[in-house]
């Protein structure tokens, strides 16, 4: 009995199916590899979202604040904050144990944090270290980075995020080649 031409898969359709399966398999393997190479946080004692909100509108704020001190070196303070599209805002309290670290990651927006107590070492994608102590402010962005508590006491951070709407606050990243020099895998 002769098979109908529409019931037998053509060589082209079979090849396309194999190619699509291959692409799906490759995407899966690569995503597993990134997750496997990412460094999870260690020593996080508290990770609490204190507040969150969303704006569906663009943010366009430009501020100029004149100095009230005529002898001040810098007479004007400026802020330019522009977003395009919806944004999410979070306030977080984070406590890191001595030796604890964030793991290598990025953010889909801007993080502004302050050290409430203790200290952190901030490492950029080139493993350049900047240290911050109680009362100091640091920022994190879309560049690969990690933080570590170098001290012998818990470090408490207060953090604000302004990120692209519906994106995760944190995106795992592969550790840079220089990571072993930081003590963060």
H-type alpha helices, the chain: 11-37
**Strand, coil or helix: what is 122?**
strand
Backbone angles phi, psi at 11, to 5 degrees: -65, -35
Q: Which of 110, 109, 99 is nearest to 45 (CA)?
A: 99
Mean pLDDT of 80-95: 98
pLDDT 10s digits, 125-153: 999 999 999 999 999 999 999 999 999 99
Give the pLDDT confidence score for residue 5 in this predicted structure: 47
Question: How many CA within 13 A on the CB side of residue 83?
Answer: 18
- Cβ distance 64 to 76 under 8 Å? yes
Confidence of residue 21 (pLDDT cuts 50, 70, 90): low
**Quick check: 172 pLDDT over 90?**
yes
pLDDT 10s digits, 24-68: 544 444 444 444 567 899 999 999 999 999 999 999 999 999 888
Give the pLDDT confidence score for residue 68 in this predicted structure: 80
Task: Share the mean pLDDT of the chain.
Answer: 87
Give the pLDDT confidence score for residue 10 in this predicted structure: 53
Q: Which of 151, 157, 153 is nearest to 138 (CA)?
A: 157
Q: Which fold has domain 39-181?
A: Jelly Rolls (2.60.120)
Give the pLDDT confidence score for residue 147 in this predicted structure: 98
Give the pLDDT confidence score for residue 52 in this predicted structure: 98
Number of H helices, E strands in the chain: 1, 12
Backbone angles phi, psi at 14, to 5 degrees: -65, -40
Give the pLDDT confidence score for residue 33 in this predicted structure: 42
- Cβ distance 128 to 156 under 8 Å? no
Six-digit token string for 175: 């550790």
Whole-Å CA distances, 170 to 13, 40, 111, 132: 40, 11, 10, 21
Confidence of residue 6 (pLDDT cuts 50, 70, 90): very low
Sign of CA dihedral 130, 133, 139, 144: positive
**Quick check: 20 pLDDT over 90?**
no
Give the pLDDT confidence score for residue 8 in this predicted structure: 52
């Amino acid at each position: 009995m002769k098979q109908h031409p529409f019931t037998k898969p053509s060589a082209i359709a079979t090849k396309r199916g194999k190619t699509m399966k291959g692409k799906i398999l490759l995407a899966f393997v690569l995503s597993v590899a990134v997750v496997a190479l990412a460094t999870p946080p260690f020593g996080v004692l508290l990770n609490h979202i204190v507040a969150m909100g969303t704006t569906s509108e663009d943010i366009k704020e430009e501020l100029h604040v004149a100095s009230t001190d005529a002898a001040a070196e810098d007479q004007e303070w400026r802020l330019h904050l522009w977003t395009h599209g919806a944004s999410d805002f979070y306030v977080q309290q984070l406590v890191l144990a001595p030796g604890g670290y964030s793991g290598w990651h990025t953010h889909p927006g801007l993080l502004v944090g302050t050290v409430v107590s203790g200290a952190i070492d901030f490492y950029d994608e080139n493993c350049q270290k900047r240290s911050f102590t109680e009362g100091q402010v640091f920022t994190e962005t879309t560049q690969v980075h990690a933080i570590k508590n170098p001290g012998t006491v818990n470090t408490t951070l207060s953090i604000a995020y302004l990120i692209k709407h519906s994106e995760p606050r944190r995106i795992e990243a592969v550790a840079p080649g220089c990571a072993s020099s930081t003590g963060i895998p």
